[in-house]
Homo-oligomer: A and B are copies of this chain.
Amino acid sequence: MTLTTSRPADVSDPGMEPLDQITLADLPALARGAAVLGTGGGGDPYIGRLMAEQAVRRHGPVPLVAPDELPPGAVVVPVAMMGAPTVMIEKTPATELVGHAVTALAEHLGIVPTHIACIEAGGVNSLFPVVAAAQLGLPLVDGDGMGRAFPELQMVLATLDGIAATPMSIGDEKGNTAILHTVDNHAGEAMARALAITMGCSAIISNYVMSGAQANTALVHGTLSMCVTIGRAVEQARAQLADPIRAVAHAVGGEILHTGKVVDVSRRTTTGFARGQAVIVSPDDGELVLHFQNEHLMAMRGDRPLVTTPDLIIVLDTDSGEPVTTEALRFGHRVTVVAAPADERWHTPGGIELVGPRYFGYDTDPVRVGS
């Protein structure tokens, strides 16, 4: 796979096997691969995995359906965690909440969901939909709304397709819930964020209800199979004493940007986000600075952005190839930064307006991997 590929990977890629279900045995690889595409955000893969394991152990494997195999009239209901992942490490949501968010929204709308879907790829947000699908006995769509993780909820390809984020349900572990109707998806983000903060920065949301036909267009295809492929590639490389970093870079169609040691991390959890930057020093290449807001959004060398959002900036533990979330970055950590292309739709003018560097306050045009 080359950098001209339109996605980090593709179900049509010979190296990738589309799965027809998620079993207990797939979950470690799924969690790892999801954290890779989570680009530092999307929550702790360990917590997501534990919750998914609990649900799959209890309810059995979750059938996967490719977006292009969905009946056009399917009722697809996405579900996700919203909040600062830094908080979730200390405050794991109750498993039952995940399915509740879906049923609360379905009851409000008077609909019967036929499929569950992922809003984003990430340690928690690729796994919580597995939890909901298992609990509700529904198949899961093999795709997601972003092809990676992004920090705000309007940042899905569905927004570019004119699909409304609301009606949306949001709930916390105490039992507080809300149903939101907003005039646009940015207002949906603002209102849900305000509530998620009030809910202790850890809430479950269900939103972007769409038909099978809409899901086929608005979702990135094959994300969950892709996550398992990435996760398995790391396992295999380690088993064969090969380089797990190269295995990840190959699986995501990316390139290695930088290898070094974390010498500084500054971060603060503010208005519901974990914002900050990390400095990674290499004896050969000098300093690379990563800027993040839940996800890694820009990699700078000196004054020059090497890669920016929407492309993927992935931080891996140099020895193990394990993805490192922004909140797990620590002084002294030896890491490798891999960059990979985002879904091509993010590089359209509408996509750049929604998730380009200027939206996040970085005064630069987008810089694509390999450019």
Which A residues fall within an 8 A CB radius of B? 108, 174-183, 187, 190-191, 193-195, 197-199
Contact = CB atoms under 8 A, between A and B. Distances in A.
Give the number of copies in the complex.
Answer: 2
A190 B196 CA distance: 11
A194 B183 contact: no
B175 A183 contact: yes
A174 B183 contact: yes
Query: Does more than half of chain A's interface fall in helix, strand or loop, or is it mixed?
Result: mixed
Contacts of A181: 176-178
Given A174-B187, A191-B198, A194-B194, 17 more contacts: A174-B183, A175-B183, A176-B180, A176-B181, A176-B191, A177-B181, A177-B182, A178-B179, A178-B180, A178-B191, A179-B179, A190-B198, A191-B195, A191-B199, A193-B198, A194-B198, A195-B195
A84 to B, nearest CB: 15
Contacts of A177: 180-182
A156 B12 CA distance: 62
Contacts of A198: 190-191, 193-194
A197 B191 CA distance: 9
9 contacts: A175-B183, A176-B181, A176-B182, A176-B191, A177-B181, A178-B179, A178-B180, A191-B199, A194-B195
Contact of A197 (B108, B176, B179, B194): B194
A183 B176 contact: yes
